[in-house]
Structure 1
Amino acid sequence: MGGDPVDEPFLNKLDMGVVFSQQNSDLQEAVQFPMAVPLLPFPVEEVFLPGSVKTLHLYEARYLAMLEEVLSNPGRNKFIGHVVVEQLGDPVGSRASAFPHAFVGDNFVMLMGTLCRVLEVKSLQVGALVKVQAEARIAVTRVSQVQPFVRGNVEAVQDGPLQDRQAVQQQLQQLQTTMQDLQNLSMKFRSKHTAALQHAMYWWPKAPLIPAAAAAVEVEATPSSSSSSSSSSPDSAVLLKEDQSSTSEAANNNSSSSSSGSSPAADLAETAARLSFAALQHVPEASPKEQLKLLRCSVNALETDDTSARLALAQQHMGESLQLLAAKCALKSLQLS
């Protein structure tokens, strides 16, 4: 499709010139929805979760025209929509009913999508390499253009209110521990997946460019009358502060109080939602079977609006990945001894 993912070894062989870069910038500006953005179609095998980064090789004339238009946008942030598309004639086309935010066209279905911020563009002799950061889930509400490239209107998709904040806090802490252990083990392997994992763990504690759990903020603004609800417990704020203090120093230095003025419950909902996405990453030495399982988990993660369910999904998969990677590290140590 002219927007192929690129592996790092390929990048290292090319003589490239940077024409745009925002990789080291943490400055943000408000993002307004609905938003009209170019849409890049991908198969379900290329599902892209918030917190993840990848590099695309754009070489077709229509996608280079799209890139030129994106970069000429006067706003600081340059956005592209990454959407999973299936033809209605496909045997799996009926899956559209499983995705509440799917957009059904005449002969296609846009099942799910993420809004991607352009981090860097490098010119090539043929085309360009575009590094993008997935920032948030989006739903396509209207396709306004199909030639020379697809453009559509999108809305942000947020998770629903937390049903049990104390349970989510515990899930958050457990997943944080798992990911820290996984990150430490992955450092023993030279792999592009190690860098991607580090980037995702750097991304999730930062102030959100686009809230992942805005619904929780709204609910907190109008508290429930139920005095027995766990939301009324001061323990939530204490637990949140303890959890935030355990976050890596690099991440904390870059997270700001976007939520300054927001409640601890809203902060918890936001950080939990972001980690539930960012945690689902490839790990070094993963087998094809493990990669397929991650793909299925990623699809389910984009489909659900339940933060707790996604945290449980991420914990189960990444916990298993941690055990497998620990075993591989042990074997590697034996071979070196």
Structure 2
Amino acid sequence: MSLRSLSLAPSPRLLVNPIPAPRSHSLCSSGSPRTGSSQLGRRFRRCSSSSVSGSSSSLDLPLLPFQMNEVLIPSESKTLHLYEARYLALLEESLSKKKLFVHFVLDPVRSSISSSGASYAARYGCLVAIESVKRLEIGALVSIRGISRVYIIELMQMEPYLRGLVVPMLDNVSGQEKELEQKLLELTEYLVSLHNLQIKLKASKEELLQTRTTNSMAWAQREGFGDCDQAFIPKLAERISFAGLQPVSGMTGSELLALQKEKLRAMDLRDTLKRVDYGIQFTNKSISMVAAKLVIQSLET
């Protein structure tokens, strides 16, 4: 799990511009991502038939802004170092609200009025759960987990930190169930292969034994989600479709940039099947990349 200091973009003007309609392009625990084919199929069919298809639910939550290169996707985890007084206050409110807040990125908006400074639109909102808090002499380390995408529909507070009203942004998989089931099994098998290769790579002492792919898949396949409003919980297929888009040990700058683009595209999509297809393609590339690194590693030893 990487340690991130809070990286904010300046926001002299913040526009409530909910996550845009999908562009027309041409899933809190540890364990193994391995799930038997029949078991995953049964769980997928059960979740598909019982999930919320539409909801008027909304939550009033603190909002934590980041730059465009810090997008967080559902199933992903990371650790933040919060130390400013306003963000420590945000943390306290989040802890009082079922350990939830919204992680979102600011998208610069061009304006002809240069005197007013730059404007930013709130995009790519992700509802997150606080998994742990470690108090420090200065600030706190906060481990968070992305749960689902959300629309920010109204700003309720600007100072000392942002607070807003959010509603769920979920996929609609109606009519895709049979094809999705097969694709999910394919993606899961590739993710298991990627995990098995990753653990053979040399890693620094600070790096966790469990890969990020394993961690995200374990979360995505959970049965329960505590006190979180169920209207905000994505279906199993949607959760798994995000789980493969995780950093791989030893990624170069260009490879991380490619992953960033995939994450942004995944956040835009409302079609689970397309996202799973992209996940399969990305995972295959990652498998080839790790396999090549293992060959180089064996030659060096």
TM-score (normalised: structure 1):
0.66
Matches within 5 A, 1:1-337: 5=4, 33-73=57-97, 77-89=98-110, 107-189=119-201, 190=203, 192=207, 194-207=210-223, 209=225, 210=230, 270-336=235-301
Among the aligned pairs, what percent are the same residue?
A: 32
Structure 2 counterpart of 1:70, which letter? S
Q: How many residues align?
A: 240
**1:211, distance to aligned residue in structure 2 (A):** 6.0
SS in 1 for 2:173: coil
Q: Is the 8 A contact 1:160 1:213 kept in 2?
A: no
Distance in 1 between residues matched to 2:186 and 2:142, nearest whole Å: 34
Inter-CA distance 23–181: structure 2 relative to 1 (3 Å threshold): closer
Inter-CA distance 328–23: structure 2 relative to 1 (3 Å threshold): closer
Structure having the larger proportion of residues in helix: 1
Structure 2 counterpart of 1:272, which letter? A
SS in 2 for 1:317: helix
Inter-CA distance 52–271: structure 2 relative to 1 (3 Å threshold): same
Runs of 5+ unmatched residues, structure 2: 6-27, 31-54, 113-117
Inter-CA distance 292–300: structure 2 relative to 1 (3 Å threshold): same
**1:71, distance to aligned residue in structure 2 (A):** 2.1
Structure 1 counterpart of 2:101, which letter? I
Please say which structure displays the higher CA radius of gyration: 1
1:121-175 Cα deviation digits (max 9, x unpaired): 1111111111101111111010110100000000011101244333222211111
Q: Is the 8 A contact 1:212 1:274 kept in 2?
A: no
SS in 1 for 2:288: helix
**1:90, distance to aligned residue in structure 2 (A):** 7.7
Q: Is the 8 A contact 1:159 1:212 kept in 2?
A: no
**1:23, distance to aligned residue in structure 2 (A):** 7.0
Inter-CA distance 23–71: structure 2 relative to 1 (3 Å threshold): farther
Inter-CA distance 165–32: structure 2 relative to 1 (3 Å threshold): closer
1:25-48 Cα deviation digits (max 9, x unpaired): xxxxxx993000000001110110
SS in 2 for 1:36: strand
Inter-CA distance 168–310: structure 2 relative to 1 (3 Å threshold): same
1:210-243 Cα deviation digits (max 9, x unpaired): 46786xxxxxxxxxxxxxxxxxxxxxxxxxxxxx
SS in 2 for 1:81: strand
Distance in 2 between residues matched to 1:320 and 1:72, nearest whole Å: 42
**1:331, distance to aligned residue in structure 2 (A):** 2.0
**1:70, distance to aligned residue in structure 2 (A):** 2.0
**1:318, distance to aligned residue in structure 2 (A):** 1.3
Q: Is the 8 A contact 2:111 2:119 kept in 1?
A: no
Inter-CA distance 121–315: structure 2 relative to 1 (3 Å threshold): same
SS in 2 for 1:39: strand
